[in-house]
Amino acid sequence: MDLVVGVDLATAAVRAVAAGGDGKIHAESTTRLSPPCSPRPGWVEQDARTWWPAVEGALRKLTSALARRSHRVVALSVCATSGTVVAVDARGAPLGPALTYADQRATREAEKAQAADTGRWTALGLRVQPFSGLAKWGWLAAQPGACSRAARLAHASDVVVAQLVGGLVPTDWSSALKSGYDPLNLEWSIRALSALGIPLHLVPEVMPPATAVGTVSAEAAGSTGLPRGCHVRLGTTDACAAQLAAGADSPGRFVSVLGTTLVLKGASPDLVADSTGAVYSHRHPLGWWLPGGASNTGGSVLSSWFPGRDLKSLDREALRHGPARSVAYPLVGRGERFPFVAGDAEGFVLDDGHGGVDRYRAALEGVAFVERLGYEHLARLGAPAEGRISTTGRGSTSRVWNAIRATVLGVPLVARADATTARGACILAAAGTLHPDLASAAAAMGAPGEPVEPLAEEREPLEHSYRRMVAELTERGWLAPGP
């Protein structure tokens, strides 16, 4: 049986998976990454030089586990976090630290880029934020000597793909969306790039996800155990890859990816434009539009508020405890980008002091409240979720959390724990190799699911707490008044 490999370059770790054309996972591996650091307020950097060694390590573990079957790997794809960027040399090697998706230093650059091409961003339903790759590329280009030393401004996945094939490659239009690429007209915003002083030769060519861009070089084959000549296909952003794995790639179908952050993704026949800039729409390789948004809330609140605690034990206590008496907006750090945009937003807990279990339960509920706010915002924009909502990410492995979320949303969930970014990368690698196209690959290789029903007895108290959180967000001026 021929195999494909998917690589997920996340913030904390690299994950690699080998799968067959039926979606069965034959081997998987993980290597840790050095965590990001914050040398100044608002700055969040990661040593990009550690990415390729970590990917090499994960792939070596994977091919060792496959043993003689490793020569049956015919293609691989790499997916990574959206909005993490770095300048690279002619071989694709990083020239400095990467500016991660959470970095907010490029405030002035975001304002310049927004003003330079406002009509385009309005048509796309985008607003250039300090979080965006475009603003951060502008900051990188403005550093002394940067434009003379750099050969390319790159996204995280571009760095790894360059090392696999032995040179610079095009980027995918999903990663490029927040870096100034117009997926409607299939072109870069020259006005915005010029306003930021970014030379055009530093901007990569853009191709659809799943496009073949080369083969594994002899050097990369020797260090990873992959077959030399194995096809390398462009990936997509991590959330879009998980969306593929969850089967949410036809109109009306949505997935919530609950990892470190909370990401909502779905499919629509039309481009969804959001004047607030909270929702953005990726372009599906087959022509659909993939509207969604990424909140800065999510699973990070558990490691921040309850470091070192046994979360499974806390889950059991939270189930016995029932709905929290306190109400939490569980934002870690400062600034929110979805379902509303507020650079000064900060987390809060109303009526705190009822004990650790109540606070834990409030944190779980708070993320569910943000999730509901997101789906309500998408529905107002003309992109409602229809039927069951899929969920994936590490947070979706908690049955207690899933039940709370289903109750808050008022619809059943389908927990697809295996709908990972790495599985989505496998699906992209299989398009045109194990399967004739992306649609058939996704249909054959998507993750199985477990249904989760709402808890009728908790609906009323959770509804009351949800409305309290919405009222507080509105009172603080972060959320616009509305239904």
pTM equals: 0.83
- Provide the mean pLDDT of the chain: 95
DSSP assigned state of 132: S
Task: Kindly state the average pLDDT of the residues 392-397.
Answer: 90
Q: What is the pLDDT of residue 286?
A: 78
Supply φ then ψ for residue 420, to 5 degrees: -90, 165
Answer whether residue 76 shows pLDDT above 90. Answer: yes
Mark which of 238, 272, 295 sits at the end of a domain: 238
Question: 313 and 378 share a domain?
Answer: yes
Residue 430 lies in a domain: no
Selection from 450, 356, 466 nearest residue 399 by Cα: 450
Number of separate domains in the chain: 2
- Cβ-contact 60, 5 below 8 angstroms: no
Q: What is the pLDDT of residue 8?
A: 98
Residue 435 lies in a domain: no
Question: 102 and 228 share a domain?
Answer: yes
Place of tokens 């998917």: 6
Residue 447 lies in a domain: no
Task: Kindly state the average pLDDT of the residues 68-80.
Answer: 97
Task: Kindly state the average pLDDT of the residues 163-181.
Answer: 96
Question: 394 and 460 share a domain?
Answer: yes
Question: 93 and 153 share a domain?
Answer: yes
Question: 168 and 292 share a domain?
Answer: no
Q: What is the pLDDT of residue 276?
A: 87
Question: 276 and 380 share a domain?
Answer: yes
Question: 368 and 226 share a domain?
Answer: no
Question: 199 and 261 share a domain?
Answer: no
Residue 424 lies in a domain: no
Task: Kindly state the average pLDDT of the residues 46-60.
Answer: 98
Selection from 2, 6, 71 nearest residue 442 by Cα: 6
Residue 350 lies in a domain: yes
Answer whether residue 355 shows pLDDT above 90. Answer: no
Residue 426 lies in a domain: no
Question: How far apart, in whole angstroms, are the C-alpha atoms of residue 381 and residue 278?
Answer: 11
Q: How confident is the model at residue 99 (pLDDT cuts 50, 70, 90)?
A: very high
Taking the CA atoms of 282, 435, 18 and 67 in sequence, report the sign of the dihedral they define.
Answer: negative
Q: What is the pLDDT of residue 42?
A: 92
Q: 126 by DSSP, 3-state: which?
A: coil
Task: Residue 401: give the domain boundaries.
Answer: 248-418+453-475
Q: What is the pLDDT of residue 259?
A: 87
Q: What is the pLDDT of residue 287?
A: 78
* Residue 294 belongs to domain with CATH number: 3.30.420.40
Answer whether residue 193 shows pLDDT above 70. Answer: yes
Mark which of 238, 273, 308 sits at the end of a domain: 238
Question: 163 and 291 share a domain?
Answer: no
Question: Which residues does 440 contact at the CB level (< 8 Å), separation at least 6?
Answer: none
Helix axes 238-246, 421-430, angle to 10 degrees: 80
Which residues partner with 32 through β-bridges? 13
Query: CA torsion, points 103, 109, 115, 121, in degrees to nearest 10?
Result: -40
Question: Which residues does 390 contact at the CB level (< 8 Å), separation at least 6?
Answer: 246, 247, 248, 253, 254, 255, 256, 413, 414, 415, 416, 419, 449
Please compute, for residue 18, the number of CA atoms within 13 A of its CA located in the half-sphere on the CB side.
Answer: 25
Question: How far apart, in whole angstroms, are the C-alpha atoms of residue 364 and residue 18?
Answer: 33
Residue 441 lies in a domain: no
Task: Kindly state the average pLDDT of the residues 303-328.
Answer: 96
Question: 273 and 209 share a domain?
Answer: no
Q: How confident is the model at residue 483 (pLDDT cuts 50, 70, 90)?
A: low
- Cβ-contact 48, 159 below 8 angstroms: yes
Q: What is the pLDDT of residue 417?
A: 85
Helix (H) or strand (E) holding 141: helix 133-141
CA 29 vs. chain centroid, Å, equals 20
Question: 159 and 280 share a domain?
Answer: no
Task: Kindly state the average pLDDT of the residues 149-172.
Answer: 97
Q: What is the pLDDT of residue 277?
A: 84
What does the pLDDT look like over 220-256, one tens digit per residue? 999 999 999 999 999 999 988 988 999 887 888 999 9
Task: Kindly state the average pLDDT of the residues 3-13.
Answer: 96
298 Ramachandran zone, left/alpha/beta (phi>0; psi -120 to 50): left
Mark which of 238, 260, 276 sits at the end of a domain: 238
Q: What is the pLDDT of residue 171?
A: 98
Task: Kindly state the average pLDDT of the residues 432-456.
Answer: 94
Place of tokens 């691989």: 76
- Cβ-contact 56, 223 below 8 angstroms: yes
Residue 482 lies in a domain: no
Answer whether residue 273 shows pLDDT above 70. Answer: yes
What does the pLDDT look like over 118-142, one tens digit per residue? 999 998 888 899 999 999 999 999 9
Answer whether residue 15 shows pLDDT above 90. Answer: yes
Name the token pair of 162.
């360059």
Question: 174 and 40 share a domain?
Answer: yes
